[in-house]
Amino acid sequence: MVGIFIIGILMLVGAVSVVVVRQPVHSALALIGVTIGLAMIYLILQAEFLAVAQVIVYAGAIMVLFLFVVTLLTAGKEEMEAEDTLSGQRWAGIITGLVVGLGLAVVIATHSPVKLSTALSGSFGGLHDLGHQLWGPYFAMLAGVALMLLTGVIGVLVLNRPDQVNYKSRLDLPSGVSLVDAEQEGKK
Amino acid sequence: MRYLIPEVVVAGGALLALLAIVLVPKAKSLGSWIVLLALLAAGIDAATMWHVTASLFMSNTLAIDQYSILVTELVLLAGVSSLLLAWDADRFGDEFPVLLALSVLGMMALGAAANLMVIFIGIELLSLPLYILAASSRTQAGGEAALKYLLLGAFSSGILLFGMALLYGATSTLSFVAYPSITSANTWLLWPGLALVLVGISFKLAIVPFHMWVPDVYEGSPTPVTNLMAFGTKVGAAVILLRLLAFGFYTQDGSWGTLIGYLAVLTMIVGNLLALPQMSLKRLLGYSGIGHAGFLLVGIATHSVEGAEAMMFYLLPYGLAVMAVFGVLRLIEGNGDEVTVGDLKGMAYRRPWLAAVLIVGMLSFAGIPLTGGFVGKFFLLQAALFASQPGLAVGIVVGTLVGLFAYLRPLQTMFQRTEPSEKVQKVRWTVASVVVLTVAVVGTIGLGVYPEPFVHIVSHSADFYWLTGG
């Protein structure tokens, strides 16, 4: 129990610093701390495979991608803080978040969850058990998640498509200018 | 497995359309045809299994009963209407039908959900394609709409998941159909968990404290996508809220009924009040959609079979009116410019048919007799009175009255005379849009004049209380 609290505090510190530190690279490093903390929680919950996958996939692969993008995009640029248009909303948000978060934390810490009605099988958390669960009772959800990922892939393709003429931006073309005009305009 | 065929057909249609787009890039409307046929086939198949005995599938994660079948039909109607409204428009991109089918699949999953995890996956599967579709017109407003929707949606999904984790801690199961039989739940974890889940679903349904995103997103998205958001998303979020609360938390109705009641009254009145000063028609419809979410909540708050029936009934006239109004909007907006109330000036003389359709839709929104909206509001009022909750009834009446003003203002503008010299933009009628408008108008008036058959269907579907958590 104490271990979970320590890991939780470490993860919270990491998560807060992802948001508040000024350098994007530091944010990415803080995010690695969060994912590793999550992996440790998986370990405590006997989900060894998930813990390993978490470290390999998130800390290993995805964070490296993040760091690549961050270094490529923001090299030598000063980060500007966006102006706060609604005065006081930041403080209101922080205070509300703290009150709700602390309230939930106290409730969860003082009231332990109910015990599972059926005992876990000996192989719980292993690769075999995970596979049996995913391809057995939870197959519908696995299929749903697969379709969600497919949607994500389509989304990247759609939103990054180079501008074709038939996707004309309404802001650039005054009304009455036909697509053909715009195309010829572009060729000149 | 027989009972999951509609879902499989829709998913298969989406994948097949994706393949067709890649393999036959020349055939522009092939993807749309495939998805249209898949949606229609799924609808017909779902209709043939109407007399199914309600039961749980896939180790108690999916419940197939008359409730889920009716939801399937409603969201398929939403999907088909959006697809038809976007039929001639190649500016939404080839993948529009694919994303639409995936979103509809998410809504269907919500109707059949019997497990918290299915709710989450259904909501995400519904939302992710909508985030993309919102930006698919590639305008600045569209990008803003998509980004707002994405960020707030991700945030609310986080809250929803947190709530689900707490519910799991309180009950040690994710299958919410088993909740009524659990006696040893830890209520200290149960209530915060339920509250967080309610926040997450309220965001999708646009209940008043969580409604800020609606007008911007509706305004920025292409009209067919807005049609899907206004009709399909509302159906999905409302039905899962009803099943989760009225079935999963059946025994603890005292604690959430009052809360939902207050939210319902607040949403009805605030949504319709904010619709009053809107100049942009899409924003007006956005706020009106918020108001209608409040009406739907009334059915949940009464916590009775009558309330559930009234809510399920209300979904169809609301959706048909959405189809009518957005169909007209799609035709008069031409190349996608924003339509304001002022643009409607003189429409009743220039384009009497379109004006007539718009009038039917708006009057149904407002709840005027002889339209489906009136019957829907009547049933809700009845359910509120049967449950002896006069506050809800007063809320319905006040909300309807305020809404009436909001809807009559555009109608009044349509009858103002204009200068004859003003240029009239040509309307490009398409077969697809005519089909949508005809179905919407005939359905709206049909439900208003002769609601009997649909009442019969609804009374079967709302009878889901017997489902036992295995």
- A148 reaches B (C-beta below 8 A): yes
The pLDDT of residue B291 is above 80:
yes
- A147 reaches B (C-beta below 8 A): yes
Query: CA dist B61 to A88, A106, B64, B290, Å?
Result: 45, 32, 10, 30
pLDDT at A70: 82
Secondary element (H or E) of residue B52: none
The pLDDT of residue B200 is above 90:
yes
**A107 neighbourhood in chain B, CB within 8 Å:** 188-189, 192
- For residues B52-68, average pLDDT: 83
pLDDT over 70 for what percent of chain B? Answer: 95
**A19 neighbourhood in chain B, CB within 8 Å:** none
The pLDDT of residue B89 is above 80:
no
The pLDDT of residue A117 is above 90:
no
pLDDT at B423: 59
Nearest CA of chain B to the CA of A151: how many Å?
Answer: 6
* Cα–Cα distance for residue pair B381/B377, rounded to 1 Å: 6
**B35 neighbourhood in chain A, CB within 8 Å:** none
pLDDT at A171: 46
Instruction: Give the residue with greater pLDDT, B51 vs A173.
Output: B51
Which tokens go with B427?
């309307």
* Cα–Cα distance for residue pair B467/B55, rounded to 1 Å: 7
**Cβ proximity of B179 and B165 under 8 Å:** no
Nearest CA of chain B to the CA of A41: how many Å?
Answer: 14
- A104 reaches B (C-beta below 8 A): yes
In chain B, the residue whose alpha carbon lies closest to the alpha carbon of A170 is: B139
The pLDDT of residue B175 is above 60:
yes
**B91 neighbourhood in chain A, CB within 8 Å:** 166-168
Q: Which residues, including other chains, have CB under 8 Å from residue A172's CB and lie 6 or more apart? A: none
Please provide residue B57's backbone torsions phi and psi, each rounded to the nearest 5 degrees. -125, 170
The pLDDT of residue A166 is above 60:
no
* Residue A159: other Cβ atoms inside 10 A: 14
- For residues B116-124, average pLDDT: 93
Which tokens go with A136?
């057995």
* Cα–Cα distance for residue pair B297/B380, rounded to 1 Å: 10
Domain segments of chain B as ranges: 2-461
Cβ–Cβ below 8 Å for B172 and A151 = no
* Residue A183: other Cβ atoms inside 10 A: 13
pLDDT tens digit sequence for B414-439: 888 876 655 566 677 888 889 999 99
Nearest to B177 by CA among B466, B372, B468: B468
pLDDT at A183: 47
Half-sphere exposure in the Cβ direction for A61 (13 Å, CA): 5
* Cα–Cα distance for residue pair B298/B33, rounded to 1 Å: 38
Nearest CA of chain A to the CA of B127: how many Å?
Answer: 10
For B125, which of A103, A112, A147 is closest by C-beta distance?
A147
* Cα–Cα distance for residue pair B212/B216, rounded to 1 Å: 8
For B170, which of A113, A157, A161 is closest by C-beta distance?
A113
The pLDDT of residue A164 is above 80:
no
Cβ–Cβ below 8 Å for A141 and B118 = yes
- For residues B206-219, average pLDDT: 89
Phi/psi-derived region of residue B389, left when phi > 0, alpha when psi is between -120 and 50, beta in every other case: beta
DSSP secondary structure letter of residue A27: H
Cβ–Cβ below 8 Å for B169 and A114 = yes
pLDDT at B201: 93
Helix crossing, B281-301 with B253-275: angle to 10°? 160
Which tokens go with B130?
């909508």
**Cβ proximity of B364 and B324 under 8 Å:** yes
Report the complex ipTM: 0.88
pLDDT at B108: 93
Query: In this structure, which amino acid lies at residue B400?
Result: T
Nearest to A22 by CA among A98, A74, A96: A74
The pLDDT of residue A185 is above 90:
no
The strand ranges marked E within A35-176 are: none
**Cβ proximity of B380 and B314 under 8 Å:** yes
**Cβ proximity of B313 and B455 under 8 Å:** yes
pLDDT at A187: 46
Residue A129 CB burial class (10 angstroms; 0-12, 13-18, ≥19): middle
- A114 reaches B (C-beta below 8 A): yes
Range with the lowest mean pLDDT among A71-80, A141-150, B414-423, B452-461? Answer: A71-80
- For residues B405-412, average pLDDT: 90
For A111, which of B11, B117, B189 is closest by C-beta distance?
B189
Cβ–Cβ below 8 Å for A166 and B118 = no
Cβ–Cβ below 8 Å for A148 and B169 = no
SS3 of A57, please? helix
CA torsion sign, B110 to B114 to B118 to B120?
A: positive
Q: What is the mean pLDDT of chain B?
A: 88
pLDDT at B466: 62
Cβ–Cβ below 8 Å for A117 and B173 = yes
Nearest CA of chain B to the CA of A150: how many Å?
Answer: 10
- For residues B136-149, average pLDDT: 84
In chain B, the residue whose alpha carbon lies closest to the alpha carbon of A104 is: B192
Secondary element (H or E) of residue B364: helix B352-366
Which tokens go with B343?
């643009």
Secondary element (H or E) of residue B240: helix B234-243
SS3 of A176, please? coil
Query: In this structure, which amino acid lies at residue B54?
Result: A
pLDDT tens digit sequence for B310-346: 999 999 999 999 999 999 988 887 666 678 888 888 8
pLDDT tens digit sequence for A50-70: 899 989 998 888 888 888 888
The 3-class secondary structure across B16-37, one letter per residue, is HHHHHHHHCCCCCCHHHHHHHH
pLDDT tens digit sequence for B297-313: 999 998 888 889 999 99
For B124, which of A143, A148, A170 is closest by C-beta distance?
A148
pLDDT at A159: 82
* Cα–Cα distance for residue pair A26/B390, rounded to 1 Å: 57
* Cα–Cα distance for residue pair B265/B297, rounded to 1 Å: 9
Nearest CA of chain A to the CA of B5: how many Å?
Answer: 12
Cβ–Cβ below 8 Å for B172 and A104 = no
Cβ–Cβ below 8 Å for B95 and A157 = yes
DSSP secondary structure letter of residue B12: H
The pLDDT of residue A38 is above 80:
yes
In chain B, the residue whose alpha carbon lies closest to the alpha carbon of A135 is: B58
**A140 neighbourhood in chain B, CB within 8 Å:** 4, 58, 61-62, 118
Nearest to B169 by CA among B154, B158, B184: B184
B16, B28, B59: best to mutate for the A interface, most A CBs within 10 A:
B59
**A114 neighbourhood in chain B, CB within 8 Å:** 169-172, 184-186
pLDDT tens digit sequence for B365-382: 998 888 999 999 999 999
- A113 reaches B (C-beta below 8 A): yes
